[in-house]
């Protein structure tokens, strides 16, 4: 056997059914193992004992650490300008998120700052958030627009997202979220704004700036009918859809996204039983955003047991954004998914690997399997549960992206 890179002395959390993940072997674990890489892809997986004569250009000794798929953050708004800690202070005096939004704060406050920022300023302000995720083992990041709300500003956000990915060799999935809030120039005429959102989508798609389409279905945002209009345009362009759904109330958005065979319904604290059945049938992933739940002091927990019993895949993400989740820690989101939502640490790791990959429509990522992308993380931990247990400790030893070491 010949490898470009061979990782030895690792314990693997494969998150792969072939190694028993989901079928009785926690994490699809393989102890005392090795993994070979050829041309940026995983070429061989097995125990050290099975490793026969081979040649490797590069050898990485994991020294008994754990090797997992690199993490994927499948829901972020990390490209934005400005700062909303003033709203944090207001919320602490008892003013709620909806009231702040209705008074021109919230998303619209970030829209003002993002519109004003130049491309360079936006890039510069977003970069530390982007790198903080990468430095914690994240090799795929979904980034949404949605703080521009006009064609040029939405384009600027998506271009910044694209450039961040290109400059740092990170897989960035760009999501068009122009239907995030009603901009001031369309106050009182949401339908006219949705018409614009539908017109801009093919333009930005033709520029190579859109991988998926999202919207915010909520009383303070858009109705199910308005979201459906945007989704129909996405469908005509063969773009997958996802939705901010059931975050503050049950609008039936998750059922809508399932009816489009969408990738994911995200937030879903107020998800109904009927929509869980629809999501299960459409294989739509439930994206859990516990940091936003925590920051808003939400008390309604997503229906985890029911999602489990219908075998709906659950992903976990930071929701990194300036208002409801000023966090750049995917490990903290995993911890909160366990502590606040009672996920098991195994479910939380699946939520940031294999199920996050499903939520992004990337079947070649998120698991250790021959033929998959060699996006890997080596951790200095005793057990994979440590990734959900530890708070604020960076235990990443090495990040490997498409077979190449980042450090
Ligand atoms: O995912 N729910 C809507 N969008 C974001 C919040 C955006 C903001 O407050 O800036 C979210 O929570
Ligand atoms: Fe969000």
Confirm or reject: Cβ of 351 under 6 Å from ligand 1: no
Which CATH number is 373's domain given? 2.30.40.10
pLDDT tens digits, one per residue of 147-205 = 999 999 999 999 999 999 999 999 999 999 999 999 999 999 999 999 999 999 999 99
Q: 55 and 110 share a domain?
A: no
Q: Note whether 200 and 347 are same-domain residues.
A: yes
- E strand or H helix at 294, and its extent? helix 290-295
What secondary structure does DSSP assign to 305-355, as a single string?
A: HHHHHTT--EEE----BTTTB----HHHHHHHHHHHH---HHHHHHHTTHH
Residue whose CA lies nearest to ligand 1 atom number 9: 323
Same domain membership, residue 167 and residue 57:
no
77 marked as binding residue: yes
Reported confidence tier of residue 75, pLDDT bands at 50, 70, 90: very high
> What is the spatial distance between Cα 45 and Cα 370, in angstroms, rounded to a whole number?
7
For the Cβ of 110 lying below 6 angstroms from any atom of ligand 1, the answer is yes
Same domain, 43 and 90: no
Residue pair 271/303 in contact (Cβ under 8 Å)? The answer is yes
Could you tell me which residues are beta bridge partners of residue 379?
66, 396
One domain for residues 19 and 144: no
351 in Cβ contact with 315 (< 8 Å): yes
Q: Is the CB of 247 under 6 A from ligand 1?
A: yes
CA of 247 relative to ligand 2 center, distance in Å: 10
Residue 107 Cβ inside 6 Å of ligand 1? The answer reads yes
Give ipTM to 2 decimals. 0.95
The answer to whether the CB of 388 is under 6 A from ligand 1 is no
3-state secondary structure 99-167: HHHHCCCCHHHHHHHHHHCCHHHHHHHHHHHHHHHHCCCEEEEEEECCCCCCHHHHHHHHHHHHHHHHH
Q: Could you give the CA distance from residue 354 to residue 364 in angstroms, rounded to a whole number? A: 9
- Predicted confidence (pLDDT) per residue in 290-311, tens digit: 999 999 999 999 999 999 999 9
Q: Is residue 57 located within the same domain as residue 180?
A: no
Largest CA distance in the chain: 71
Is 294 flagged in the annotation as binding?
Answer: no
Q: Give the Cα separation of 157 and 7 in Å (integer).
A: 38
Ligand 1 atom 12: residue of nearest CA: 324
The rounded distance, in Å, linking the Cα atoms of 377 and 354 is 14
Residue 210 has pLDDT above 80, yes or no: yes
How many domains does the chain fold into?
2
The answer to whether the CB of 119 falls within 8 A of the CB of 156 is: yes
How far apart CA 308 and CA 306 sit, in angstroms, is 5
Q: What contacts 223, CB < 8 A, 6 or more positions away?
A: 190, 217, 251
Beta bridge partners of 172: 141
> Could you give the 3-state DSSP secondary structure of residue 65?
coil
Q: Is the pLDDT assigned to residue 407 strictly greater than 70?
A: no
Find out whether the beta carbon of 143 lies less than 6 Å from any atom of ligand 1.
Answer: no
pLDDT tens digit sequence for 328-351: 999 999 999 999 999 999 999 999
**In this structure, are 167 and 36 located in the same domain?**
no
Residue 101 Cα: closest atom of ligand 1: 9
Q: Report which bound ligand comes closest to the CA of 105.
A: 1
Q: How far apart are the first and last CA of the chain?
A: 26
pLDDT at 254 over 70: yes
Tell me how far apart the alpha carbons of residues 201 and 207 are, in angstroms, rounded to a whole number: 10
Residue 97 alpha carbon, nearest atom of ligand 1: 9
Region 248-264: mean pLDDT is: 98
Expressed in angstroms and rounded, the spacing between residue 118 Cα and the centre of ligand 2 is: 23
What's the Cα-to-Cα distance from 317 to each of 107, 236, 331, rounded to whole Å? 19, 28, 9
Whether residues 271 and 174 fall in one domain = yes
Q: How far is the CA of 323 from the centre of ligand 1 (A)?
A: 6
pLDDT value of position 231 = 99
Measured by CA distance, the residue closest to atom 3 of ligand 1 is 216
Same domain, 66 and 9: yes
Instruction: Specify the pTM.
Output: 0.98
Contact between 164 and 173 (Cβ < 8 Å): no
Please name which ligand lies nearest the alpha carbon of 292: 1
Tell me 39's DSSP state.
T
The whole-angstrom separation of Cα 2 and Cα 386 is: 33
* Residue in 407, 400, 368, 405 with CA at minimum distance from that of residue 138: 400
- For residue 360, pLDDT beyond 70: yes
Per-residue pLDDT band for 28 (boundaries 50, 70, 90) equals very high
pLDDT at site 262: 98
One domain for residues 151 and 217: yes
Evaluate: CB of 293 within 6 angstroms of ligand 1. Answer: no
Residue 300 burial (CB < 10 Å; 0-12/13-18/19+)?
Answer: middle
CA–centroid distance for 405 within its chain:
22
Residue 111 tokens read as 């829209």
pLDDT per residue as tens digits for the range 103-121: 889 999 999 999 999 999 9
Same domain, 225 and 317: yes
Q: Which of 360, 377, 398 is the last residue of a domain?
A: 360
Residues 244, 107 share a domain: yes
Using DSSP bridges, classify how beta strands 138-144 and 171-179 pair: parallel, antiparallel or unpaired: parallel
Rg (CA), the chain: 21
Any ligand 1 atom below 6 A from CB of 114: no
Q: Which two tokens stand for residue 121?
A: 């300023």
Q: Which of 289, 300, 355 is nearest to 327 (CA)?
A: 289
Question: Residue 277 belongs to a domain with what CATH number?
Answer: 3.20.20.140
- Secondary element (H or E) of residue 281: helix 273-282
Q: Which range of residues forms the domain containing residue 323?
A: 71-360
């Amino acid at each position: 056997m010949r490898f470009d890179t061979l990782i030895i002395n690792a314990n693997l959390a494969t998150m792969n059914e072939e190694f028993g993940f989901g079928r009785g072997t926690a994490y699809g674990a393989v102890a005392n193992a090795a993994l070979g890489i050829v041309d940026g892809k995983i070429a061989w997986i097995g125990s050290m004992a099975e490793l026969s004569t081979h040649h490797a250009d590069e050898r990485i000794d994991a020294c008994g650490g754990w090797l997992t798929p690199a993490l994927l953050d499948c829901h972020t708004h990390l490209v934005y300008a400005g700062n909303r800690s003033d709203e944090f202070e207001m919320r602490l005096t008892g003013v709620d998120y909806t009231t702040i939004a209705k008074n021109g704060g919230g998303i619209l406050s970030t829209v003002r700052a993002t519109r004003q920022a130049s491309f360079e300023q936006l890039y510069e302000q977003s970069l530390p958030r982007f790198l903080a995720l990468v430095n914690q083992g994240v090799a795929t990041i979904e980034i949404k627009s949605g703080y521009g709300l006009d064609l040029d500003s939405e384009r600027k956000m998506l271009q910044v997202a694209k450039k961040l990915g290109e400059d740092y060799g990170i897989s960035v999935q760009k999501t068009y979220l122009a239907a995030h809030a009603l901009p001031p120039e369309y106050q009182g005429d949401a339908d006219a704004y949705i018409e614009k959102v539908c017109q801009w989508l093919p333009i930005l798609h033709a520029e190579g700036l859109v991988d998926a389409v999202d919207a915010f279905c909520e009383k303070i945002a858009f109705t199910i009918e308005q979201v459906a209009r945007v989704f129909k345009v996405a469908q005509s362009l063969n773009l997958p859809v996802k939705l901010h759904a059931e975050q503050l109330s049950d609008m039936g958005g998750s059922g809508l996204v399932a009816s489009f065979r969408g990738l994911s319904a995200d937030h879903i604290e107020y998800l109904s039983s009927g929509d869980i059945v629809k999501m299960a049938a459409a294989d739509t992933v439930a994206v859990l955003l516990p940091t936003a739940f925590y920051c808003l002091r939400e008390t309604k927990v997503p229906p985890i047991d029911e999602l489990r019993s219908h075998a709906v895949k659950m992903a976990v993400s930071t929701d990194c954004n300036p208002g409801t989740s000023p966090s750049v820690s995917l490990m903290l989101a995993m911890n909160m998914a366990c502590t606040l939502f009672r996920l098991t640490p195994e479910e939380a790791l699946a939520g940031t690997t294999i199920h996050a990959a499903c939520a992004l429509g990337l079947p070649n990522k998120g698991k250790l399997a021959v033929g998959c992308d060699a996006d890997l993380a080596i951790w200095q931990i005793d057990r994979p549960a440590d990734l959900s247990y530890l708070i604020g400790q960076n235990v990443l030893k090495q990040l490997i992206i498409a077979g190449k070491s980042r450090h």
